[in-house]
Amino acid sequence: MKHPKMTINFIPLLLLVMSSCVYLTWAKSVPSTCLRNQFQCGDGSCIPHGWICDGRAECVDGSDESEETCKSKTCSPAHFACGGRLNRCIPVDWKCDGQSDCENGSDEDCPPQVCGDDQFQCRSGKCISLTFVCDGDHDCEDESDEENCPAPTCDPNMFWCNNSECIPKLWACDGDTDCKDGSDEWPQNCDGQKSLKPPNPCSAQEFHCGSGECIHMNWRCDGGFECRDHSDEADCVKPTCRPDQFQCDDGTCIRGNRQCDKEFDCRDRSDEVGCVNETKCDGINKFRCRSGECISIDKVCDKSKDCRDWSDEPLKECAENECMNNNGHCSHICNDLKIGYECLCPSGFRLVEKTRCEDIDECEDPDICSQNCVNLEGSYKCECTTGYEMDPSTQTCKAVGTVAYLFFTNRHEVRRMTLHGSDYKSLIPSLKNVVALDMEISENKIYWSDLSQKKIYSALMDKAGNSSHHITVIEQEIQSPDGIAVDWVHGNIYWTDSVFSTISVANTGGLKRTTLFKDGLAKPRAIVVDPTSGFMYWTDWGTPAKIEKGGLNGVDRVPLVTDGIEWPNGITLDLPNMRLYWVDSKLHSLSSVDTNGGNRRTIIVDQEKLAHPFAVTVFEDKVFWTDMENEAIFSANRLNGGDIVRVAEDLFSPEDLVLYHHLKQPKGLNRCEGSNVPNGGCEYLCLPAPQITKHSPKYTCACPDGLVLASDMRNCIKGGEVPSVSTKASMILVSSTTTSSTTTSNRVSPTTKTIPQRTTRNPNLGTTEAAKQMSDTVIPNSTLHSEMLSQQVRNNAAVEDTTSKHPTALYIVIPIVLLCLTAFGGYLLWKNWRLKNTHSINFDNPVYQKTTEDEVHICRSQDGYSYPSRQIVSMDDDIA
User: Rounded to an integer, what distance in angstroms lies between the CA atom of residue 686 and that of residue 767?
Assistant: 16
User: Rounded to an integer, what distance in angstroms lies between the CA atom of residue 473 and that of residue 490?
Assistant: 16
CA 547 to chain centroid, in Å, comes to 11
Region 192-197: what's the mean pLDDT?
A: 57
pLDDT tens-digit series, residues 384-429: 998 998 887 788 899 988 889 999 999 889 999 999 877 889 999 9
- The answer to whether 753 and 710 are in contact (CB under 8 A) is yes
Q: State the DSSP string of 107-162.
A: GG--PPP---TTEEE-TTS-EEEGGGTTSSS--STT-GGGSSPPPP---TTEEE-T
Task: Please calculate the CA angle 847-851-852 and round it to the nearest 5 degrees.
Answer: 100
Q: Which residue pairs from 250-255 have beta carbons closer than 8 angstroms and sit at least 24 positions apart in sequence?
A: 250/222, 250/223, 250/224, 251/222, 251/223, 252/222, 252/223
- The answer to whether 705 and 771 are in contact (CB under 8 A) is yes
| pLDDT for res 196 | 55
Region 127-131: what's the mean pLDDT?
A: 85
| pLDDT for res 177 | 78
Nearest by Cα to 505 from 539, 479, 529 = 529
| pLDDT for res 572 | 97
User: Rounded to an integer, what distance in angstroms lies between the CA atom of residue 632 and that of residue 648?
Assistant: 5
| pLDDT for res 785 | 36
User: Rounded to an integer, what distance in angstroms lies between the CA atom of residue 164 and that of residue 154?
Assistant: 8
Task: Please calculate the CA angle 761-495-218 and round it to the nearest 5 degrees.
Answer: 140
- Evaluate if residue 66 carries a pLDDT over 90: no
Task: Please calculate the CA angle 176-177-181 and round it to the nearest 5 degrees.
Answer: 170
- The answer to whether 428 and 448 are in contact (CB under 8 A) is yes
- The answer to whether 700 and 553 are in contact (CB under 8 A) is yes
- Evaluate if residue 761 carries a pLDDT over 50: no
pLDDT tens-digit series, residues 654-666: 999 999 999 999 9
Taken in order 739, 742, 747, 749, the sign of the CA dihedral is positive
Task: Please calculate the CA angle 112-463-511 and round it to the nearest 5 degrees.
Answer: 145
pLDDT tens-digit series, residues 100-115: 878 778 888 888 778 8
Nearest by Cα to 570 from 557, 583, 561, 558 = 583
SS3 296: strand
| pLDDT for res 827 | 82
pLDDT tens-digit series, residues 352-388: 998 999 999 999 888 889 899 999 888 898 989 989 9
Region 713-742: what's the mean pLDDT?
A: 49
Region 299-322: what's the mean pLDDT?
A: 88
User: Rounded to an integer, what distance in angstroms lies between the CA atom of residue 193 and that of residue 705?
Assistant: 42
Lowest mean pLDDT among 3-7, 171-175, 750-754: 750-754
| pLDDT for res 213 | 80
| pLDDT for res 672 | 93
Lowest mean pLDDT among 457-461, 725-729, 839-843: 725-729
Lowest mean pLDDT among 47-56, 123-132, 187-196, 584-593: 187-196
Highest-scoring range by mean pLDDT, 324-328, 687-691, 760-764 = 687-691
Residue 560 or 124, more confident: 560
| pLDDT for res 753 | 38
Mean model confidence pLDDT for the chain: 79
Task: Please calculate the CA angle 812-816-818 and round it to the nearest 5 degrees.
Answer: 120
Residue 282 or 276, more confident: 282
- The answer to whether 404 and 617 are in contact (CB under 8 A) is no
| pLDDT for res 500 | 95
Residue 766 or 602, more confident: 602
- The answer to whether 410 and 653 are in contact (CB under 8 A) is yes
